[in-house]
Structures are given as structure tokens and as C-alpha cells.
Structure 1
């Protein structure tokens, strides 16, 4: 999840994010008969989480901040094992619980709980929740493989968005303690048709980085562009084994996927810029400025 990775990237973790895979999957719940029907009502209350550094905790801290509630001083966060969160809520030890799927879906299906907020509403409904990351060594040494992997996973998400029942049926062969109805229900509730790549992906990560600064997760002195890193758009020579997506065929540049194909150009995030780092790459002749995107560099 994007909100899990950005802090690690700020600390220099050698992973490159290549694309957003889908929207949705973070939920804030309360009891059906609870008086806490909105974010504003949670001021002074305790929220149950499974991880103080979890993406759900970070996301709802951001939402609380946007609604005028300080997530540090105006609410308390209490850690529970996942299977005890609903028990604590039933006992009124806490006002709300946060989590992701399938945990949230199963609780809502019981009819005992209601949704306070999620990342499928408001501004965040149009942002990636989960992202694809590859190891730094793969991005540096095997760029076509990293790009092909990204393409394959995005195509799988597109298929899931268009055929959730088919995916659910296939998934049952590899999963325990679930059902076709549950898997397809979860897929219907998420945005698997939303795949941010290229500049759109960078903008989404930048927004998250700024939001995390506001809730004191990312250091205030960190420049958001440094958190997201410099990015390079991968130009991929199409092999006989690859089927060019419609977007690639419309680009008018035969045999490759230029950055102007926003829905299929793959951007590799590199670590935050170091003094002289970009210059050294340029002098080595490994990259050049792209005429189609002023801030983008294209591999040849």
C-alpha cells in the first residue's frame, strides 16, 4: 500500500514503485448502534488499529486532519490483534476500528457494523491505494523485465475490474476460508480499473507525501519530490510475445511505448536525488530529456 511504502522510501529503502494497481480497501467502522456516525464525532475518542505504522492508521489520520481533528492530540490509537478489534468495539472499549479487506468486508456483512469512512469516497476515490514495487536491483539492471512485470499486473487488475466473478472463481483454487461471493463482493467494492502510471502516479504519491507530512509521519524538512524520487519513463521494445495494448498502438511511434501514452508508460521511481547524481547519469549518456515530458527522462 502506498501509505506503507512512502516512509520507508524516505529512509532510503531500495525499492522502486512503478504503478498504482487499484483504489480502495481501507475502511473505518463502528457499531451499528454507535453514536459515532462521522469523523467529526470521533474527537476525544479511541480508535482501534492493528499496527501503529499501518496504512489504514495513516490514512484515517489524514482524513481526521482534513476534518479539523488533530490525529495526535484529539484522538487516541490503541493496538489490538485483528481478531479482537470487533470484540473491543462490542465492549465499547473503543469508538471505531480501522482495517482493510477481507477483514472490513466480513464485519460489514454481519450487519452489526457500519462504515464511517473509506478511501473509496471523496478525493481519495480517484487515487491509488495499493502500488506495485520492484527491487532496486531489478529496476536498475533489468528495466524491461520490471516494465513487463508492471504491464502484466496492471492487465490482471483490469481483467479483475471487468470480470470479478471469473476472478473470484479462479481465486478459490488458491485460497482458504472464503467464497466466490465474498471475493467478487470485495472486488466490486474496490477500484481495480484505476491504474496510475507516469506523471499521474507521481502526482498521487506526491499528494500522499504532503498528507503524511501534515500528520507528522514524514519529516517536515523532507521535500515531497525527494520522497517520490526522480522518475524515469521506461521505453519498451515490443517483442513478438507481447500484445501491444490499444493505447500503445495509438501513439504513432512504432515499436515502443513513449511517455505520452499515459495509461501504459511505465515510470520507475529512483531514490531521492543526491548532489551531482543526475549530472553523472547524463554525462554517462544513459539518459536524455524527453521532448514529450519536460520532467521525464527516457531510456534508450
Structure 2
């Protein structure tokens, strides 16, 4: 029997948890490869009926993300495993905090351990970095993530940024038009690029501008959202003044912890940061076992 004492439902539209768990474990087990499809160490060293208890613990101060996914790895290999998730997703915990307790078949725990920990460490690292950036903004603007995600992990990484306190930018190429400099280069001007997107019936058009004189043409053509690219705080304030609340504004480029406070205070609606998913270090989270 499995138990979760806390609410652990994941809000990840479009993400197939079962498929992710199965494919990740198959990769680690070498399914389909010569000699693969098994955990050779666990099979040769651990008895089929041996049992373990385990405690997953944070060794850093972190914002927790991904525990229900970790639980799914263990349950995939031992559906009868007892699992107790001890903290909510998004909880801020101190070093030494127990995050999950589990007991069940030792082979299943050892085989699933690395996949479960990799996932929790990665997502918790993203959520933790995201919270640090949110706090550095001191209540100004809203933090957005970007499409700079590891292929195949976008849904999970964007879940982690939400858990850390950011909002998701567009999820992919399908849910909004993002007109950037190369689109403008082909179309001939910002105004023409936006006009083409409007005529195509695109319901949400984000237009990147890197000069103040591009703002009015973009708005006149019907842009719904302006991305103010690589502008310093003074230029951002000028841009916000020109836009005058007609559409949301987003600062992007050159954003790090030393600059985000001034950028967010410039009056923009959003600040987008690619490093949330590109550069977040894995959290230090361990899993210790005891034979039963």
C-alpha cells in the first residue's frame, strides 16, 4: 500500500508522468540494448525479497519541487511500496529536512534511486533559483521563464519555475507568436512582421523591439505584448512611458541577480530570465537506506 500524507497532485498540463517514468527507467536499464534491460548490480547483490526503508533528505536550504515524480519512479518498480511525502511542493526547507520516507523492496529502491534523485535535484534547483530571483525583484514586475529548456524536459522545468514563484512565458512555438530580429529582417520591418501575424489570425503576438523608435510601429500594427530587448533601466523607463499601459511590457537580456532589481523597478510588467532553466545548479538532496 502507498500513502501520501500531503496534497501532491501535479499541475503539469501536457505531461505524461507514466510515460516519463517508464522511458527514464528504460534508458537507465538499457532496455533494447544487448545485455540490457536489467540492473545487473541489484540483481546480483540484493535478494529478491530483501527490503529497505529510506529517507530522502535535503542537504541545502531549498524550494522543494518534484517529490511526487520521485515517488512515481519507486512505485513503478514496486507498486506496494509505502511512501510518505513529508513536505508540500514549493515548501522552503532548511538543510537536514526529511522530504520523503519510503519502505519496500530493496531492488526496486536501488534501481529507481538515481532517476528519482536526478529529477528532484534538478527541479528543486530550478525552483530554488527562481525564488531567489523573485525575492531580488522586491515586489516589482512578474518573473517569467523562457523556452531555454533541456529538450524533453520543458514541461517539468516550467513546472519547477512555477513552483519557485515565476509565471510561464509561452510554452512553445504554438501558443503565441514571438517576432524577433530575424523575423523582422525577413519581413522588412517590425510593423510589417506584426501586420503579417495579425492577418494570419494569430491571437497573441509578442514583438521584440531593441530601439525606442520601433515601439509605436509595433503597437500601430497590433502587437499585444512588447519584449524590450537588452535595454538598461533608464531606457526601459522611457519605453514604459511611451507604451503608457497600452500593452504589457517585458524586459529581457542582460538580466542577472545584480541587475534584476533595477530592471524590475523600471516599470515593466514582466522580466524574463533564461538562466532559470539554463543554469540552475542541482540541489544537494540525498537518500539513505536501512535494511529491514
Give the TM-score normalised by structure 2.
Answer: 0.25
Give the TM-score normalised by structure 1.
Answer: 0.25
Q: Which has the larger radius of gyration?
A: 2
